[in-house]
Amino acid sequence: RASSAASRASLGAVTRDGVRIEVGANLGSVADARAAAANGADLAGLVRTEFLFLDRETAPDVDEQTAAYRALAEALGGRRLTLRTLDVGGDKPLRYAPVPPTANPFLSVRGLRFSLVRPDLFRAQLTAIVRVAVETPVTVLFPMVSTVDELRAARAALDDVLRAEQASPAGLRVGAMIEVPAAALKASALAPFVDVFSIGTNDLTQYTLAAARGDGGVAALGDPWDPGVLRLVDSVCRGASDRVTVSVCGEFAGDPGAASVLIGLGVRELSVAPARVPEVKQAVRELTAATATTTASAALAAPTASEARATALG
């Protein structure tokens, strides 16, 4: 019985008209990776590597990081491992790498911006990622990309590490997180540099509505169903060439009703908390991609978040 539940869990998520959607899990520990595998995730769609860096006095070195990423890969049993490079700054400061105090940490040195001003830390992390990528399929994901120049610089750092390691891992893919409205609008300019766009709707919503995450006073404004956010997701899907997979890894990916709109817009991968994987796979199996396209158009045209949500659920 347990084994038949496990084999059902690992069945793919295919819409009624035959469109395959990869359903991944968001991870922050080896326990999460085990839960992802047990719940039938197709891949780890987002590993928040901050768990290795926070609450300590010194940065983890290359060997420690390599061992940690390898442990995740082992728990995932060969599934693709999407390793996001360090996403600190903002509300997640590091004791050993202070950034100057600022009134607006969310608008300051965070995500990829931080890695680009700390090339020593960035290089160590990329080295560990490349060492694991020669053993298992890996996507390296850069958070908080705002400009083409940043993405070029990140790719150059990765290329340097590949040269130094004399490695050319066949399964290595490169992704940019789309969390900044300008990046969503420039998706077609960013596409030549990546294989994957991973839309972080948590941050994309906060920056689009100018409503800070976790700020109760503006919580109602920070709604990913806002048609302004949906139009940015549409811009990312249109800007992605056929070669570039569009994924959503924010909380919105697991919202009931979101699957139809996102798939209708062109998203082909959803990454959610491990426990939500079976439900999201089931939601995908119950929908038709052709109908989802109509739903998505209606949601884009809706004047308000609640009307967009109603279109999808109705």
Annotated catalytic residue 237: no
Rule CB under 5 A: is residue 203 a binding residue for Mg ion? yes
Nearer to Mg ion, 32 or 179 (CB): 179
* Strands 80-84, 13-14: pairing kind: unpaired
By a kind-dependent CB cut-off of 5 to 8 A, residue 250 interacts, out of ligand PEP, Mg ion, none, with ligand PEP
Nearer to ligand PEP, 111 or 239 (CB): 111
Binding characters for Mg ion, 150-189, by CB under 5 A (x = yes):
-----------------------------x----------
Alpha carbon distance 130, 99 (integer Å)? 27
Q: Which stretch binds Mg ion (CB under 5 A): 25-33, 65-73, 200-208, 210-218?
A: 200-208
By a kind-dependent CB cut-off of 5 to 8 A, residue 295 interacts, out of Mg ion, ligand PEP, none, with none
Rule CB under 5 A: is residue 142 a binding residue for Mg ion? no
Sign of the torsion angle spanned by Cα atoms 90, 96, 99, 100 = positive
Read off φ and ψ for residue 198, nearest 5 degrees.
Answer: -115, 110
Alpha carbon distance 303, 230 (integer Å)? 11
The active-site residue out of 145, 244, 249, 296 is: 249
By a kind-dependent CB cut-off of 5 to 8 A, residue 180 interacts, out of ligand PEP, Mg ion, none, with none
Alpha carbon distance 292, 51 (integer Å)? 36
Alpha carbon distance 266, 286 (integer Å)? 17
- If you write DSSP's letter for every residue of 203-230 in order, what string do you get? HHHHHHHT--TT-GGGTTT--TTSHHHH
Nearer to ligand PEP, 42 or 203 (CB): 203
Residue of 200, 227, 239, 254 interacting with Mg ion (CB under 5 A):
200
> Do 139 and 82 touch, CB atoms closer than 8 A?
yes
Which residues sit in the known binding site? 48, 84, 179, 202-203, 213
Nearer to ligand PEP, 205 or 260 (CB): 205
Cβ-based neighbour number of residue 294 at 10 Å: 13
The residues binding ligand PEP (CB under 6 A) are: 46, 48, 87, 179, 200-203, 249-250
Alpha carbon distance 14, 247 (integer Å)? 16
Which residues sit in the known binding site for phosphoenolpyruvate? 48, 84, 202-203, 213
The helix, strand and coil proportions of the chain, stated in percent and rounded to the nearest 5, come to 50, 15, 35
Chain contacts with Mg ion (rule: CB under 5 A): 179, 200, 203
Instruction: Point out the residues that are catalytic.
Output: 249
